[in-house]
C-alpha cells in the first residue's frame, strides 16, 4: 500500500500548528464517539500547537474540511537504525467511513515513516476492537512475532 491509495483522490497532508484547532476537534470527537476520556478541545489544541511545531509528532489530515486524522509519534530505538513510529491515533468521521480515507491516511503515515528512515511502525489496538484489528491486519500489520502464534500484549501504567 502506498499513498497512491488516496481514498477517492483526497491525498492526506501534513498538519501545521495552524491546524491545531481542527486536529483537536477531530481527536476530541474520536474519544467522545468511543466513550474515552478527553481533556477537551482547548487543552488538546494547546498541546497540539506546541507538538506540531516540532519534529517528534507528525499529524496527517485528509479532506477539506478535514474529516480524518492520523497522529504519529517518533522515537529513537536501539534495535533499528532509524526512528520507530507509533500510530497514536487514526480517525475518520463516521459519516465518511467506507470511502478508503482511513486506508489513505495509513498509507501516507507509512510513507512518512519510511521517508524518515524508519523501519518499524507500532499500533496499539483495544483487544475487543475487531474492526480496527481487521483493518490493520488487512494492511500487513500483525500482533505476533515471526514464527510465533501467541499475540503480543501491550502493558501500560499511568504515572
For 105, residues 6+ apart whose C-beta sits below 8 A from its C-beta are 7, 12, 60, 62, 68, 69, 70, 90, 92
14: how many CB neighbours lie within 10 A of its CB?
12
- The pTM score is 0.91
14 to each of 54, 72, 90, how far by Cα in Å?
12, 11, 14
- The one-digit pLDDT tens for each residue of the chain (159 residues) are 343 444 556 699 999 999 999 999 999 999 999 999 999 999 999 999 999 999 999 999 999 999 999 999 999 999 999 999 999 999 999 999 999 999 999 999 999 999 999 999 999 999 899 999 999 999 999 999 999 999 999 898 999
> Nearest-CA neighbor of 48 among 69, 78, 77?
69
For 106, phi then psi, to 5°, come to: -65, -45
Amino acid at each position: 500500500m502506498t499513498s497512491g491509495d488516496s481514498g477517492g483522490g483526497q491525498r492526506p497532508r501534513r498538519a501545521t500548528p495552524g491546524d491545531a484547532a481542527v486536529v483537536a476537534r477531530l481527536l476530541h470527537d474520536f474519544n467522545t464517539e468511543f466513550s474515552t476520556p478527553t481533556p477537551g478541545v482547548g487543552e488538546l489544541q494547546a498541546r497540539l500547537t506546541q507538538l506540531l511545531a516540532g519534529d517528534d509528532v507528525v499529524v496527517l489530515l485528509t479532506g477539506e474540511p478535514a474529516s480524518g486524522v492520523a497522529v504519529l509519534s517518533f522515537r529513537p530505538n536501539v534495535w533499528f537504525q532509524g526512528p520507530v513510529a507509533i500510530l497514536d491515533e487514526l480517525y475518520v468521521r463516521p459519516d465518511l467511513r467506507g470511502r478508503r480515507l482511513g486506508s489513505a491516511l495509513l498509507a501516507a503515515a507509512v510513507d512518512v515513516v519510511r521517508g524518515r528512515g524508519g523501519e518499524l511502525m507500532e499500533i496499539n489496538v483495544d483487544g475487543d476492537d475487531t474492526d480496527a484489528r481487521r483493518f490493520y491486519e488487512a494492511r500487513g500489520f500483525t500482533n505476533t512475532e515471526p514464527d510465533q502464534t501467541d499475540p503480543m500484549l501491550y502493558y501500560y501504567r499511568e504515572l
